[in-house]
Structure 1
Amino acid sequence: MRELAHAYTEDTQVKWNGVLGRMELKAENDVKLQQVNVYPDIAGKRIKVKAVLVRTNPQTTQAEVTLQVNCAETGKSYEPQTYPVAFPHDTVCIEKEYALGEDMRLWDEFSPTLYTLQASCHTRQGTDRYETTFGMREIGHTDGYLTINGNRVFLRGTLECCIFPLTGTPPTDEAGWEKVFSTAKAWGLNHLRFHSYCPPEAAFKVADRMGFYLQVELPNWSLTVGKDTATNRFLYQEFDRIIAAYGNHPSFCMLSAGNELQPDFQFLNAFVGYMKRQDNRHLYATTTFTFEQGHGTQPEPEDDFFVTQWTDKGWIRGQGVFDAEEPNFNKDYRQAAEGIKVPLISHEIGQYSVYPDMKEIGNYTGTLEPLNLKAIQKDLEKKGLAGKAERYLQVSGRFAVQLYKEEIERAMKTPQFSGYQLLGLQDFPGQGTALVGLVNAFWESKKLTDERYFRQFCSPVVPLARFEKATWTTNETFAAQVEIANYYKEDIRGKHILWQLTDKTGYEVGRGKLDAGTFKKGTVTSAGEIHVGLEKVRNAAQLCLKVTIEDTDWENSWSIWVYPPLKELNAGDVVLTQDISQALSALDAGKKVLLSPRPDKLEGLEGKFLPVFWSPVHFPKQAGTMGILCDPKHPALLHFPTEMHSDWQWWNLVKHSKVLVMDSLPDLQPIIEVTDNFVNNRRLASVFETKYGKGKLIMSSIDLLSTKSKQKPEVKQLLYSLTQYMNSADFVPTGTVSKQDLLPFFSKQNKGVEKRTDARSIYEE
C-alpha cells in the first residue's frame, strides 16, 4: 500500500510537523469578515464579491460593509461601495457586484495585472478589515483547448515536488519562491504543477505577479483512494480549506485530486463534481494520470482537463517511443490525441537521468546532507574514476537536452495539445536519486546548456521543422516543412521566415526566405517548405538548420548529419571480421584487425539509445547506461563528425550494439566509451583499440559489418572513419591485451557481466 504526498514524504525533504510561516494572535471584533471571495466577470467588466460575516456578539444586529478596489499598475482607486447588513443569524453571506469599467485590464502570462479588494465591516464596536488580491482571469476550455480569457493557452510546465534541501520545508517567504519562478521563467516556462501538495501563500503571490499558471493538488498520492472514510472526509475538508485560503489568486488555475490515484474512480468523479459546484474559478481533474486498469486512457466524466502519458490510441510522450522508433522528426501525437474533448496535457515528460554533479555536494549547508552524492563520490574514488565524473555529467546532460528538445517539439507540433509537464526541469533527490533535471535541487543551472538555447523550443512562439531523418547523404535533397507554433498574445503578421543551413565552420550550404504570412495566435501554422541539395557538402559534416522569424528573437535550430555515399569500402591492409577466431589468427600474424562481432555473440549490456529512465535505483531492471562519451578530436573519428555525447545520428549505431564491461582492462583507453549509471560506475565501452601480440586491434561492439547494418549511412561512415585511422600513422595503440582478456567478451561462462534486461516496461521494478 502506498500513501504518499510531497507535502509529507522522505523522498524530497525531512518529515516535518508544526506550523511554518506567520503565527499571530488577533483580537476579533464583534463582527468578523471570515471570508471574501472574488469572482471575475470578464464580459460584464465587473466582479462578484461573496463575503461571509460571522457575528461574535449577539447584541450586534446591524453593520456596514464597504468594498473598494485598487489597481497598483494603473494607480486607479475605484469608488468605494457601502452596503448595510442585518444579522438575523450569527453567520450572514452577502453577494455584491462591483463594476470595473471599460479600462479593466485582464490577467494572463503576458500582462499579469493585479487588483486589490479592500473590504471592511463597521459596527459600533469597531471595524474588521479583509484585503485580497485578484486578477481578471477566467479559465475554461473550448473544443478541447485550454483557454485563459477566451484565448488559447499552451502550458509549458514542470513539476514542483517540494524540494528544498537547505530547510527541508517549502519557503513561506516570497524571496524563496521568487528564485523558483524566476528560474522557471528564464527557461521559458509559464506553468508549475505542485505534485501532491498545495504551496503556501507566498508561492501564489509570486506566481500572480509573474503570470504563472499553477496546478495545485490535494496531498494525495494513493493506491487506496476511496477506501477509508476518514481520509475521504479529510480530502473534502482540505479542498474547502485550500479554496478558502487561496481561491482568489489568479495564478491558481487548476486543481487535481492527487497524483496517479487508484482505484476508486466513482469516488473521485463524485469528489470532482463537488469541487466544481463549490467554486467555478478553476478547472478540476480526478487525478493527474493513473495506472488503474480501465481508466487513464480517456478523461473521466467529471474531468475539466486530462493529464496522461497515453490514450487508448497510443503514447503522447517520447519516453515511450524514442528508443523503439528510428529518429523521425515529422512525428507528433495527433493520432493518439484524436477525440479527446477536454484540454490534453502530457504527463511527466522526459525523466532522462543525468549523471550526478559532484560539485553540488558543497551546496548542502543546511538541514539535509547529500549522503547519496557522497556515496557515489566514494565509489568513484575507489574505482579510480573520480576524474571522469565531470565528463559523465556533461555528456549525459547535453544528451538529455537534445531529448527534452524533441519531447517538447513533438508536443508543440500536436494541434490538439494544451501543454506538457516536465519531470523535470529540476532534479528529484528522492526515490533512490532521480537526477533528471537541467537545474539542480537548488534551482541552479548545471551549465549543461544555457537558458537562451532552451527557450528556442520552450517559448510562447516556437519555429518548428518537420523532416524525415537525422542522417543524410550528399546525393540527397534535404527537405523540411516549417511551422510556427504561436501561443503569444497576438497574431504574427507580415514576417518572413528566414532559414539557413550551415556547417560548423560557417560554410553555407543553403539559405532562403519563406513568404510572409499570418500566424494566428493559438495555432500551429505551416510557413512553407525548405528544399536544399546537399551536393555542396564535400566531406562528412554536422549541419545546423536555423529558422528565424524575421525581426524577432524567435528562432530555433536543429542538427543533421551528412555523409558522402560510400558504395564500396577500401579497408587497405585492415582485416575486417566478425569472427573472434579469424581475428586472433590475423593478430598472431602481426596484422591490423577491426573486429566487429554480431551483438548476439557478445556478452554485455543491452545497447540502448535512451539513458536511464528516472532512477536506476528505483527502476533497477534497466540496461542502465547514460549515453556515449568520446573525444570528437580523436583521429579515429576524423571522418565521423560528432559531439562528445550521444545525439540522434548515434541511434542506429547504439541500438545495434552491446556495451562491453571493461573493468578487467582498466588501462585501455576506449575510442567510444559509454557512461554507466551512478549505481554501478563500471568502465564501459563500445569501441576500443589495443595491441595484441605483434598485431593491432580495434574491437567494436557496435555492429559495423552485418549486411543490414551497413545499409545505414552513419554505420558506413563510422566504419570508414575507423579504417582510415587504422591505415594512418596515427594508429599506435598503447594498451595490450591477450587472448584470455578478449574471450570473456564472448564466453557464456562469464558470470560477472550483466545480462540483457528482461524488463518489458520502464515501470517494472
Structure 2
Amino acid sequence: MQIKHIVTSVLLILFLSSWDSKDKLVMNIAGDWTVQLDSADIGLKKGWQNRSFIQPMKLPGTTDDAGLGVANKLKPSLEKLQMSHLTRKNSYVGAAWYSREITIPKNWKGKELLLKLERVIWKTNVWIDGKQVETEQNSLIAPHYFDLSKYLIAGKTHRITIRVDNRKLFDISVDNMAHAYTNHTQIIWNGVIGKMEIEAFDVVRIASVQVKSDINAKKAKLAFALNNNTRKAAKGVLIVTAVNKKNKIAIETLEKKIQINAGQSVVEVDYDMGKDVKLWSEFSPELYELKAELKVGKNNSQISVDFGMRNFSKKGSVLTINGQPVFLRGTLECDIFPLTGYTPMDKEGWQKVFGTAKNWGLNHLRFHSWCPPKAAFEVADEMGFYLQVELPVWTLKIGEDQKTTDFLYAEAQRMIDEYGNHPSFCMWSMGNELQGDMTVLTKLMNSLKAKDERHLYTTTSFTFEKGHGDWPEPEDDFFITQWTKKGWVRGQGVFNSESPTFNKDYVASVEGMTVPLITHEIGQYAVYPKIDEISKYTGVLEPINFKSVKEDLERKGLIHKAADFTKASGKLAVILYKEEIERALKTAGISGFQLLDLHDFPGQGTALVGLLDAFWDSKGLISADEFRSFSAPVVPLMRFAKATYTNNEFFTASLDVSNYSDSSLNNQEIEWSISDDDSVIASGSTKAAISIGYNHKILDLNESLLKITKASKLTIKVNLKGTNYTNKWNIWVYPQKQSIDYGKVVYTRNLDEAIKLLNAGKKVLLNPDWKKIKGIEGKFVPVFWSPIHFPKQAGTMGILCNPIHKVFADFPTDMNTDWQWWDLNVNSTTLIVDSIDGGSPLVEMVDNFANNRRLASLFEGSIGSGKLVLASFDLANDLEKRPVAKQMLVSILNYMNSSSFNPDTIKNPDALKLILKKEKEKTAEKPTSIY
C-alpha cells in the first residue's frame, strides 16, 4: 500500500507540473486603440467597419476615461438635475466604434479562436477586415464572446473593429435606476472595462465545467461541457484533480476514458474529495482549484476553476451553512465607484470593498439589480462572504414585454455559466422591488432552480405589488421584506411613532414564517453631506451635488457649521442603525439584515445614508471596532424597557446573546457594569453556556437608581471576558423629587404677553402651543433616504447643540440627538428662524440639505430691557409623567435665573410674529407617507 501511495503521489506531481507548464494560447488585445463616436448613428451606413479612426484611446477603458463626449455645463444649484446624482464630466450615449490591428501567431493554424470582451454596456458587434462576425452580444453582466475562427488567419495581420452601443436595449427599469444600467451609481459608460483577449483552442476541448459540492458524500459532482468540432465522435481521456489553495495539498487524481460526441455534449463525473475535505464558510473560506485536462489524439484541452465545498441551505425559517445556523449581517453594493463610474475588474478594487465590510462586522453583500464581475466573486470566496446576486432588472412591468423576459432568461443562464461555481454565490433574487405579473417571476425562478440547485432563490427583493410583498411567494426559498402582513420588521415604521424601548423585537411580525426572512434595506437615515469630501472626486464624476450644498451654505453664512451638521446628523444615524441591527438580531425567525447602507449612495437625490462615504472610507462618526460591538458573529444584547428614568426607579434588564459563530461558548464569563462619567455605580459577573443561535435571558439585572442624585447619563457595558465581544447602551436618570422654581422667570404661552413683559424688563420663557404654530413637524428620526428623492417628508436631520452651554447644566446631552430627546422632539414644532436678526439658537435642528434653513426648537435673545428664551417643544403638559420635559424645564429655568443668562439682542422682534404665526393643528406624518 505504501509503494502504491508513493507512485500515485509522483504521478500527481508530474501531472500538475506538466499542466502548469503549458501556457494557454492567449493574445491580450488591450492597449492602444482608435475610436470614433457615432452620435448621428451613421457609421453603419457610411461603412465605418472598413476604416481606421484618428482619435487614440486606451482599452480597457471608457469614453469618460478618455474625456470624450458632451462636456458638462451644469453649474451648482439646489435643483433636482444637479442634486439627483454625481455628474459626468463628459457624457456619451450612443454607438462608438473602436479599431486596431492584430497579428495572429503562426502556430494558431487550425485552432478555434474566441474573442472575449469582459463587461460592456450594452450591445456589441465585431468586424474583421470589414467583414461582420455573425453574432452580436448584449449581456450587461457577463463577458461578450465572439467566435473568430472563420475570420482570422494564422500569421496574418487583421483589422478588428468593435461597435459598442450603450443605448437602452430592453425595458429593465424605471427611470434607468437598475444599477446594471444607470447614471445614479455607476454611469452609462461606453467602452470595454475588463479583459480583452483572443484565446486559441484545439478543435476538441473542454468548454466549461460546473462544480456542485455534495458535502455529505464528500464528492464534487462535475459537469463538463465539451465542444467537438471534428464532426465525428471521438474517444478521449479526462484527467481531474483538485488542490486545496491554502495548504496546497492535492486530492488524488481521477483519470477516466470518455466518449465524446460530435458537436456539443456534457460529461458528468463524481470526484471523491477524500475524507479530510475542508468545508467553505465565513469562518473557514477553504477553496479548491479544480484542474482538468482532456486528451483526444493530438488535441489537448485544459481548464481550471475555483470552488468550495459548502451547503448553503435552510432549515425551516433558519438559514444554514453546512448545517449550522447562519445570520446575515449585510449591506448593499449598488455599483458605487465614484472615480471611474464602473465596477473594479481586478481583485484589488474588491479587496477594499470586502475588506472594509468585514472590518465593520459584516459577512454578507447584496448586489442590488446587478451582478458583479468575476473579481468580486473571487475576493468574496477568499474572504468568506455570502453574496446575494440579482438579475439586472428593477421594473414595475414584469411580463409585459416578451423580449425583456427573454433577455432575463439569457442573462440568468450566463450568470450560471460564468459565476455559478463560486461558493460565495449563495443567494439569487430575480431583481429589486419588482412589480407586474408575479407568475412570470415564479416561472423564471423555478426554471433556474431546476438548472442549478447550488443557490437559494427568491422571486424579488421585496415588492409593492398589491397582494404581494407581505408574505413569501409559494416557491421562495427565502423572503426579503420591510414588513409582513403582521407588522413592520424595520425601524422606519416604529422609531418615530413609539417611545424608545429596547426590549422589543419583531417576533410577532414573523410568526408563522416558513422560510428564512431577511429584513429589506433597513436604515436609510440621511447624513448631512460631508463638504470636505469634494476633494476626493478626482475621476470622471464631478460632485456638483456636494458643491451645490457648499455654495448654498456659503451664501447663507452657514459654511462654518457644515462639519457639525454632518457630525450631529451622522451620530443620530449611528444610534438608529444600532437599534435596527439589534432588533433584527433579537428576533428568532429573522435570518439577517441588509442595510441601506453602510456606505453612501450618491444617486436618487444624493442619498447619503452611510456611516462610510461612497469610497468605503469612514466619516468618523463611529469606529469599526465600535460598530462591530453590535454587528459581529457574537453580540451581547440587552433588553430594557426605556431610555429615561427617575431615580426612584430600578433599572431592570435581561441579557441575551446572539451567537452565530462557529462554536458554542462554554462556561463563558460575562462581566457587566453601570457607570457614569466618574465612577462605576454597579457591576457584576456570571458564567453561562452560550450555544450557537439565539440565547435568551442569560442574565437579569435589577439595580436601584436611588444613588443617582443629579441628572446623569449612565452607560451599561457588557463584556464576554477573554473575547472581543462587548456592547454598551446609554440611559438617562433624573431626580424624581425636584420642584420647578421659576424664580424671576415669567412663563407664558402668548407672544403678545411675552413682548409686554420683555419691554417691562422681565425674563420671559415663551413656550407657545407647539401644535398650533407655524413650522416643521418635530421628528426624532432624520430625513428618510433623500429630501430630493422623497420631497414630501418633514425632513430635518436631528438636533445640534453645545453640550457644555450653561442651559444644559442640568440636562446631560451630547451635541447630537440621542434617545433621551425623543419626547421633546416628537412633541414639538421646529421653528424656521432665518428671519431673526440677532439672538442665538440653543437647540438647533439640522435642516435637510435641499433647504439649509436656520432651524431651532430652543432660542434665546434680548428684546428691549428684557431677556427671552423661546421653546417650541412642550414644557407645559403632564410634566410628572414626562421626566425629560420636566428636567429640560428645570435646566432652562436654572440657566435663566443665573448670571450666565445674557443673550444677544434680537434686532427685529417683529419677526417673531411671523415665525410664531398660528396655523391649523398638525397631524403626524405616517411612516409610509414618503412613498
**What interval of TM-score do these two structures reach, taking the shorter chain for normalisation?**
over 0.9
Match of 1:210 in 2: 383
Match of 1:580 in 2: 751
Structure 1 unaligned blocks of 5 or more: none
**Structure 1 residue 579: deviation in Å?**
2.0
Q: Counterparts of 1:583 and 1:18 in 2: how far apart (Å)?
A: 68
Match of 1:196 among 366, 369, 384: 369
**Structure 1 residue 731: deviation in Å?**
0.5
Contact conserved, 1:72 with 1:115, CA < 8 A, in 2? yes
**Structure 1 residue 320: deviation in Å?**
1.1
Match of 1:320 in 2: 493
After superposition, the C-alpha distances for 1:629-677 in whole angstroms (9 at most, x for unaligned) are 0000000100000000001000000101011111112533211111000
Aligned pairs (5 A) from 1:656-695: 656-695=827-866
Match of 1:457 in 2: 630
Match of 2:894 among 715, 724, 741: 724
- Whether 1:439 and 2:612 are equivalent positions in the alignment is yes
After superposition, the C-alpha distances for 1:68-112 in whole angstroms (9 at most, x for unaligned) are 110122221122111112133322211111112221111000100
- Whether 1:595 and 2:761 are equivalent positions in the alignment is no
Normalising by structure 2, we get a TM-score of 0.80
Aligned pairs (5 A) from 1:65-464: 65-464=238-637
SS at match of 2:201: coil
Q: 1:685 and 1:4, CA in 2 relative to 1: closer, same or farther beyond 3 A?
A: closer
Q: 1:438 and 1:666, CA in 2 relative to 1: closer, same or farther beyond 3 A?
A: farther
**Structure 1 residue 61: deviation in Å?**
1.3
Match of 1:48 among 216, 221, 237: 221
SS at match of 1:117: strand
Q: Counterparts of 1:605 and 1:708 in 2: how far apart (Å)?
A: 23
SS at match of 2:548: helix
**Structure 1 residue 376: deviation in Å?**
0.6
Contact conserved, 2:233 with 2:262, CA < 8 A, in 1? no
**Structure 1 residue 762: deviation in Å?**
4.2
**Structure 1 residue 586: deviation in Å?**
1.8
After superposition, the C-alpha distances for 1:178-229 in whole angstroms (9 at most, x for unaligned) are 0000010111000000000000000000000000000000001000001111
Question: What amino acid maps onto 1:637 in structure 2?
Answer: F
Question: What amino acid maps onto 2:768 in structure 1?
Answer: P
**Structure 1 residue 523: deviation in Å?**
2.4
Q: Counterparts of 2:775 and 2:415 in 1: how far apart (Å)?
A: 53
After superposition, the C-alpha distances for 1:721-745 in whole angstroms (9 at most, x for unaligned) are 0000011110011122554122112
Q: Counterparts of 1:608 and 1:366 in 2: how far apart (Å)?
A: 38
Contact conserved, 1:415 with 1:524, CA < 8 A, in 2? no
Q: Counterparts of 1:86 and 1:17 in 2: how far apart (Å)?
A: 44
Aligned pairs (5 A) from 1:597-636: 597-636=768-807
Match of 1:511 in 2: 683
Question: What amino acid maps onto 1:175 in structure 2?
Answer: E
SS at match of 1:300: coil
Q: CA RMSD in A?
A: 1.5
SS at match of 1:175: helix
Contact conserved, 2:235 with 2:296, CA < 8 A, in 1? yes
Question: What amino acid maps onto 1:107 in structure 2?
Answer: W
**Structure 1 residue 758: deviation in Å?**
8.1
**Structure 1 residue 585: deviation in Å?**
2.4
Q: Counterparts of 2:697 and 2:737 in 1: how far apart (Å)?
A: 35
Contact conserved, 2:228 with 2:261, CA < 8 A, in 1? no
Question: What amino acid maps onto 1:171 in structure 2?
Answer: P
Q: Counterparts of 1:547 and 1:658 in 2: how far apart (Å)?
A: 38
SS at match of 2:741: coil
**Structure 1 residue 757: deviation in Å?**
8.2
Aligned pairs (5 A) from 1:467-478: 467-478=640-651
Match of 1:743 in 2: 913
- Whether 1:642 and 2:813 are equivalent positions in the alignment is yes
Contact conserved, 1:30 with 1:60, CA < 8 A, in 2? no
After superposition, the C-alpha distances for 1:261-320 in whole angstroms (9 at most, x for unaligned) are 001111111111111100000001100000001001110011111000000000000011
SS at match of 1:679: coil
Match of 2:674 in 1: 501
Q: Counterparts of 1:469 and 1:757 in 2: how far apart (Å)?
A: 25
**Structure 1 residue 588: deviation in Å?**
2.0
Match of 1:522 in 2: 693
**Structure 1 residue 17: deviation in Å?**
3.5
- Whether 1:712 and 2:878 are equivalent positions in the alignment is no
After superposition, the C-alpha distances for 1:385-435 in whole angstroms (9 at most, x for unaligned) are 000000000000011000000000000000111000000001011111000
Q: Counterparts of 1:763 and 1:157 in 2: how far apart (Å)?
A: 27
After superposition, the C-alpha distances for 1:114-156 in whole angstroms (9 at most, x for unaligned) are 0010011112223111100111111111021001101100000
- Whether 1:698 and 2:869 are equivalent positions in the alignment is yes
Match of 1:541 in 2: 712
Match of 1:561 among 700, 725, 732: 732
Match of 1:764 in 2: 930
Q: Counterparts of 2:476 and 2:261 in 1: how far apart (Å)?
A: 39
Question: What amino acid maps onto 2:906 in structure 1?
Answer: T
Question: What amino acid maps onto 1:591 in structure 2?
Answer: K
Question: What amino acid maps onto 2:904 in structure 1?
Answer: T
Question: What amino acid maps onto 2:211 in structure 1?
Answer: V
SS at match of 2:200: coil
Structure 2 unaligned blocks of 5 or more: 1-172
SS at match of 1:176: helix
Match of 1:32 in 2: 205
Q: Counterparts of 1:726 and 1:676 in 2: how far apart (Å)?
A: 27
Question: What amino acid maps onto 2:788 in structure 1?
Answer: V
**Structure 1 residue 710: deviation in Å?**
5.4
Normalising by structure 1, we get a TM-score of 0.97
Q: Counterparts of 1:759 and 1:543 in 2: how far apart (Å)?
A: 32
Match of 2:119 in 1: none
After superposition, the C-alpha distances for 1:494-542 in whole angstroms (9 at most, x for unaligned) are 012211000022x11111113x221111223321201111111121110
Q: Counterparts of 1:668 and 1:571 in 2: how far apart (Å)?
A: 22
Q: Counterparts of 1:423 and 1:129 in 2: how far apart (Å)?
A: 43
Question: What amino acid maps onto 1:442 in structure 2?
Answer: F
Question: What amino acid maps onto 1:764 in structure 2?
Answer: I
Q: Counterparts of 2:461 and 2:438 in 1: how far apart (Å)?
A: 13
**Structure 1 residue 584: deviation in Å?**
2.1
Q: Structure 1 stretch 420-429 or stretch 516-525: which is displaced more?
A: 516-525
* Percent identical residues: 49
**Structure 1 residue 760: deviation in Å?**
4.3
Contact conserved, 2:390 with 2:431, CA < 8 A, in 1? yes
Q: 1:406 and 1:453, CA in 2 relative to 1: closer, same or farther beyond 3 A?
A: same
**Structure 1 residue 755: deviation in Å?**
10
Match of 2:904 among 723, 728, 734: 734
Question: What amino acid maps onto 1:590 in structure 2?
Answer: G
Q: Structure 1 stretch 672-681 or stretch 591-600: which is displaced more?
A: 591-600
After superposition, the C-alpha distances for 1:434-459 in whole angstroms (9 at most, x for unaligned) are 00001101111111110000000000
Q: Counterparts of 1:449 and 1:137 in 2: how far apart (Å)?
A: 35
